Amino acid sequence: MPSTSETERSDALRLMASANQSMATRLQPPAWYHLALGLLVGSFVALREGPMMWTFAALPIHAVALAVLVRIKRNRMGMFVNGYRRGRTRWVALGALMLSMTVIMAATYAELELRLFGAYLVAGAAIVAIFTTMGPLWLGAYRRDLRES
């Protein structure tokens, strides 16, 4: 088995660094992407304010809309990156998930125990803000991960 030379190893590392830099630069979703994703998820949560049937009826519509959003992102950037991938990005995604779940649980408590109707509407708006804010943070974490690997 032939061994690789020091030059070949350093060339391979430079090539990997160049590919990572290219991916970091290419990963630029449309400016409206994170807001659209937030509106999609937030509106689904806000629908809980109405009859349960609205939520069930909206589920397939939201699922199709999410698939379209992912397709647009994939077509625009040529790739789709899992939000829960290893690295800093996983912590940003898990933070957004935990924050969103906390908001939903608080809305559920407010509605069921405190009888504060409208809590799911407020939760939906909060989730729009969470996704709109955390999306660019996730992108920054992904770019840092690529540049450091």
Question: Could you read off the pLDDT of 63-85 as tens digits, one per residue?
Answer: 999 999 989 888 887 777 777 77
In a domain, 18, yes or no: yes
Domains in the chain, number: 1
SS (H, E, C) 37-84: HHHHHHHHHHHHHCCHHHHHHHHHHHHHHHHHHHHHHHHHHCCCCCCC
Instruction: Give the range of the structural domain holding residue 30, as residue numbers without chain letter.
Output: 6-148
Residue 71 or 8, more confident: 71
Q: Is residue 1 part of a domain?
A: no
More confident residue, 11 or 52: 52
For a pLDDT cut of 70, what percent of the chain falls above it? 93
Domain assignment of residue 86, yes or no: yes
For residue 68, being part of any structural domain is answered with yes
